[in-house]
Amino acid sequence: MADFLCGLDAAVAVVGGKWKPLILWALSVQPRRTGELRRELDGVSEKVLTQQLRELERDGIVHREVYKEVPPRVIYSLTRKGVALDKALAPLGDWGEEHLADIIAVRQ
């Protein structure tokens, strides 16, 4: 079991990684299939996307619905906890938008 120093430490552990916040952002618009997410998140590999989705599912952020069809259809959506986390990240995204030009400038 992980030991966290504070709530922020726990939250960062849940959304840590390059793709998890972007997965949350994509799913906040609408539920999506794996292929839709892969197309939406340009550059993510299938392996990494699957791993990140499994971790988000484990943490109760994402719900995975499997439809018993041939081939099986899988749709991912945000849970109530996931919606709350997405709302909590919104101010961070606003900060990033506000300072985007400066961030790009200092990194070039």
- The pTM score is 0.88
Number of Cβ within 10 Å of residue 98's Cβ equals 10
Calpha distance 18→6 (Å, rounded): 22
What confidence tens digit (pLDDT) does each residue in 96-105 have? 999 999 999 9
Quote the crossing angle between the two packed helices 46-58 and 20-29, to the nearest 10°.
Answer: 80
What confidence tens digit (pLDDT) does each residue in 66-106 have? 999 888 899 999 999 999 999 999 999 999 999 999 999 99
If pLDDT is split at 50, 70 and 90, which confidence band does 3 have?
confident
Helices (H), the chain: 7-15, 20-29, 34-40, 46-58, 80-98, 100-107
Number of Cβ within 10 Å of residue 26's Cβ equals 19
Q: Which of 71, 66, 70 is CA-nearest to residue 53? A: 66
Token pair for 42: 């340009």
